[in-house]
Amino acid sequence: MSEQSPAERARIAVASLVFALGAPLVYAALRGFEQLRGGASDPTLIVRALHTTYYWRVSLSAWAAGLAALIVFGTLRAPRAATGADPAFAEKRLARRLSVLALVVVPLSALFVWVRP
């Protein structure tokens, strides 16, 4: 296995953070759309249901988050103008910002889905 450069590791970290942010956001958005479309659900039916819609929501959120991560990774791999700056610096700064955003967004998405089953 070849050793990865710091810039490559930073791009992978940013793409992973995009996936970690995207999956719960898309899941909460899909769940919110279902509730807006069909109204509140009966909690007793949730236990007895086949959970087919749950599996679709999980699959679609993982797919959308993976696609977003691939797009971000590909965008960060694109050649940039020679500015003389460290190429990994922008990715590290973006990774720090996404980490802070994930600390806020992921618990809020989980809280939304918990409160609105």
Cα 90 from Cα 34, distance rounded (Å):
38
Whether this prediction's pTM lies above 0.75 is answered by: no
* pLDDT tens, position by position, 67-84: 989 888 888 876 665 555
pLDDT of residue 71: 87
Tokens describing residue 36: 């807006």
**pLDDT value at position 85?**
59
* Averaged pLDDT for residues 16-44: 83
Q: Give the model's pLDDT for residue 12.
A: 87
How many other CB atoms are there within 10 angstroms of residue 69's CB atom? 21
pLDDT in the model for residue 65: 92
Q: Is the dihedral of CA 101, 32, 58, 26 positive or negative?
A: negative
